[in-house]
Amino acid sequence: MTASPPSTARQAFYDEIRKFSMTPLWESLSTLVPHTPNSPCVPARWRWDDVLPFIEQAGTLISAEEAVRRVLVLENPALPGKASITQSLYAGLQLILPGEVAPAHRHVQSALRFIVHGRGAYTAVDGERTTMLPGDFIITPGWTWHDHGNEGVDGQSEPVVWLDGLDIPMIRFFDAGFEEKSAALSQRVSRPEGNALARYGHNLLPVDYQPTSPTSPLFNYPYARTREVLERLYRDHELDAWHGVKLRYVNPVTGGWPMPTLATFMQFLPAGFAGKPFRSTDGAVYSVVEGRGRVIVDGQSMAFGPKDHFVVPSWKTFTLHADEDAVLFSFSDRPVQSALNILREEKLDA
Ligand code: GTQ
């Protein structure tokens, strides 16, 4: 925008051409082509203690089956009504109570599940079920049939809450959304639980396996294994001054991201960690698995503890601090930015 308001003659001209669906570029050029990214999104945090009572209340107001997906969407406070946590990402907290089923459907949008609370729900993806345990990272690639249920585990059943991360805003941007409902409430299971993990999750592949898509054939990345690796690498002194011990989830067949539109990460920050400032064009959504600490975004400090969620918008400088050993899951649109060759990141020195 030019600093001063337009003259009367210019404004009259703008009003006139508006009737012909035209507008002057020079009034908005610097916004359209910014010198540096200037996200309209704001940093925000959702405390578990604030969110849980509302999730529980939602459980009394509507069933999973009626809702199809009983989710409270985490909306960026600066994007009201957009169902977006950043311009490109959707996040929500989904609740499934013991005995419930969220009916089978499929859609173009890719989804990730990060299990926040409770044990014993399952997700079925294209014929295989996986039990969900806290900290597990599960994918539902675009156009795969999926349904969710909660049958409990080890004879116990409890409400289960997970973080849904989807590329809904990206698909909306491209106007490329398709969806289908299954005739069956739950899909037919055609492979035993754990089959995909056995096939693809041990640095081995069935000898004649040929990938049929860029998406990972592995669909549950169990927390127990991730946690062990973080701990081990910390002991091996592989601590980065900006990120702590930070790993990215991969498609084991290609080494690429698990899904084409969503990148996912897990990081460990030892007690006392005070990270150096970092910024990146991929804004990210965080789910706190363990520990307490703070994220400071452009000078704004947000404390976090287990099961809290927060968002760091694109190109905002931030630092991570841990008061206790902390484990953070996060996701972003990094694969898309990389594919478009627009990803930029900077490790800054304080
Ligand atoms: O579980 O399929 O949070 O389709 C939003 C849209 C979850 C799902 C969401 C969905 C799903």
Written as one letter, the residue type at 123 is T
| Residue 144 maps to a domain | yes
pTM, entire model: 0.96
Query: Ligand 1 centroid vs 125 CA: distance in angstroms?
Result: 13
Query: Ligand 1 centroid vs 252 CA: distance in angstroms?
Result: 25
| Residue in 65, 93, 94 to alter for ligand 1 test, most ligand atoms within 8 A of Cβ | 94
| Residue 276 maps to a domain | yes
Per-residue pLDDT tens digits for 26-76 = 999 999 999 999 999 999 999 999 999 999 999 999 999 999 999 999 999
Q: Whose CA is nearest to atom 9 of ligand 1?
A: 164
| Residue 72 maps to a domain | yes
Residue 9 pLDDT level (bands cut at 50, 70, 90):
very high
Domain count, the chain: 1
Average pLDDT over residues 75-97: 98
Query: Ligand 1 centroid vs 180 CA: distance in angstroms?
Result: 13
Q: Whose CA is nearest to atom 8 of ligand 1?
A: 69
Query: Ligand 1 — pocket residues by CB below 6 A?
Result: 69, 71, 92, 94, 107, 111, 146, 164, 166
pLDDT for 152: 86
Give the structural domain span for 222: 44-347
Average pLDDT over residues 319-337: 98
| Residue 19 maps to a domain | no
pLDDT of 2 higher than 70: no
CATH code of the domain in which 69 resides: 2.60.120.10
| Residue 1 maps to a domain | no
Per-residue pLDDT tens digits for 194-221 = 999 999 999 999 999 999 999 999 999 9
Query: Ligand 1 centroid vs 126 CA: distance in angstroms?
Result: 16
Mean of per-residue pLDDT scores for the chain: 97
| Residue 36 maps to a domain | no
Q: What are phi and psi of 171, to 5 degrees?
A: -65, -35
Average pLDDT over residues 253-268: 98
- Residue 220 to residues 104, 112, 187, 251, 313, Cα–Cα distance (Å): 18, 10, 18, 11, 27
Query: Ligand 1 centroid vs 90 CA: distance in angstroms?
Result: 10
pLDDT for 3: 66
Query: Ligand 1 centroid vs 16 CA: distance in angstroms?
Result: 44
| Residue in 166, 180, 182, 219 to alter for ligand 1 test, most ligand atoms within 8 A of Cβ | 166
Residue 65: other Cβ atoms inside 10 A: 12
Per-residue pLDDT tens digits for 135-160 = 999 999 999 999 999 998 888 889 99
Residue 350 pLDDT level (bands cut at 50, 70, 90):
confident
pLDDT for 156: 86
pLDDT of 1 higher than 50: no
pLDDT of 300 higher than 80: yes
| Residue 301 maps to a domain | yes
| Residue 34 maps to a domain | no
